[in-house]
Amino acid sequence: MKAIAVIPKQKNSVHLVEMDKPKLDEIKDGRGVLVEVLRVGACGTDREINNGEYGVAPEGFEFLVLGHENFGRVAEVGANVKELKAGDFVVATVRRPFGHSIYDTIGQQDFTTDAEYWERGISRLHGYMAECYVESADFLIKIPPAIAEIAVLLEPLSIIEKGLKQAEDIQKRLDIWQPKTAAVLGIGSVGILTAMALRMRGYEVHGFGRDARNGYFNAELLEEIGATYDSTAESSVVDSVAKYGQYDLIFECTGFSPIIFDAMQSLNENGILILASVTGGERKTDAVPSDKINQMFVLGNRAMVGTVNANREHFEMGVKDLALCEAMFAGWLGKMMTHKIVGLENFAEAFDVLNNAGKYKAIKAYFEVNKI
Ligand code: BGC
């Protein structure tokens, strides 16, 4: 079968490989599921891996099959799989509990404390940019056919759901927390999905990005679901507080780390700031009003939390939000899927879109590997 691979740490090494089709019995205890890949999303992490910044090949391989944003159809199930059958739509989670930390042993590998981690398409495990894959049913989420067209958005959404779940858990420290307003910093595909998830929870949502509002399709999408958009090229997030008030919740997904200090100064009393950008660079900033920020956090009981990856429960939360959003704003999620690349062999096209997202006005680029 065909698959898209890179040589980790080697810049622009993306290429097509030919591999044996995986077999059900690679998964023990009859829990294997063979999945025909239908769609795979391409994202910033794939771009960074192909840039040589990130990614580890599985043991015994010099290449890593890319792809973690996935959607497929069950082709065959092992003898002990009762929850899925051939023909079902599924999305697979990304991280596996192969580490040594206690969190791995209790199935909370998304909270691993190990420095090494096993993530399909990212680190130590081949990914889903292939014609098919096998996986244990334990790591597959069943997808209702009604959301099949947009289900490739579930994996990026799962990251947001985990962030929001962490916020909710942390805010249980307050006997009553009735958040009303939220700011979303960065409105690429992750930011748009975040705005959606917050709108589904009834928040008043304010999105921020660098682009000017005029002609910015991402901003139009936000407004269609009742959120606002402001360009930080015109005024800062801190300044926006004069217009919208301090935010009860702020979700940061810009990839531009200095903005977190703006976010910290824009948070309401008892509010929570969620950080979700994996900033692998060397950027430093010194323009930080540290006394002010520290005092705001202390006197206002503010909180800040980092979040990465997602577990089964977060994918399941995401399924519900996708279904609710389709019910409330039919067709809106589909508008995010701006660039379809037909066939894995056209990987160069996908990486061109990823590397020049601004030029292409791309929100979500994805492969159609097989037809739904
Ligand atoms: C993936 C996560 C992963 C993270 C760090 C993200 O792009 O969606 O599942 O944990 O990268 O590798």
Tens digits of per-residue pLDDT, 27-74? Answer: 999 999 999 999 999 999 999 999 999 899 999 999 999 999 999 999
Determine whether domain 2-143+338-368 maps to CATH 3.90.180.10. yes
Query: How many angstroms is it from 290 CA to the middle of ligand 1?
Result: 30
pTM of the full predicted structure?
0.97
Q: What are the start-end ranges of the H helices in the chain?
A: 44-50, 102-105, 154-170, 189-200, 217-224, 237-244, 259-264, 290-299, 312-328, 332-336, 347-355, 357-360
pLDDT value of residue 28: 95
Give the pLDDT mean for 330-359: 97
For the CA of 69, the nearest atom of ligand 1: 8
Tens digits of per-residue pLDDT, 284-306? Answer: 999 899 999 999 999 999 999 99
Residues linked to residue 73 through DSSP beta bridges, in sequence order: 36, 89
Check pLDDT > 90 for residue 358: no
The residues spanned by each domain of the chain are: 2-143+338-368, 158-306
In three state form, how does the secondary structure of 26-72 look?
HCHHHCEEEEEEEEEEECHHHHHHHCCCCCECCCCCCCEECCCEEEE
pLDDT value of residue 280: 82
Task: Name the average pLDDT for the chain.
Answer: 97
For the CA of 122, the nearest atom of ligand 1: 12
Looking at the chain, the whole-number percentage of residues with pLDDT higher than 90 is 98
Tens digits of per-residue pLDDT, 97-141? Answer: 999 999 999 999 999 999 999 999 999 999 999 999 999 999 999
Query: How many angstroms is it from 15 CA to the middle of ligand 1?
Result: 21
Q: Are strands 181-185 and 247-252 parallel, antiparallel or unpaired?
A: parallel
Taking each helix axis from N to C end, the angle separating 189-200 and 217-224, rounded to the nearest 10 degrees, works out to 10
Ligand 1 pocket test, candidate residues 309, 311, 314, 354, most atoms within 8 A of CB:
309
User: pLDDT class for 173, splitting at 50, 70, 90?
Assistant: very high
Burial of 50 (0-12, 13-18, 19+ CB in 10 A): buried
Which CATH number does the domain 158-306 belong to among 3.40.50.720, 3.20.20.150, 3.30.413.10, 1.10.10.10?
3.40.50.720
The length of the chain in residues reads: 372
For the CA of 110, the nearest atom of ligand 1: 10
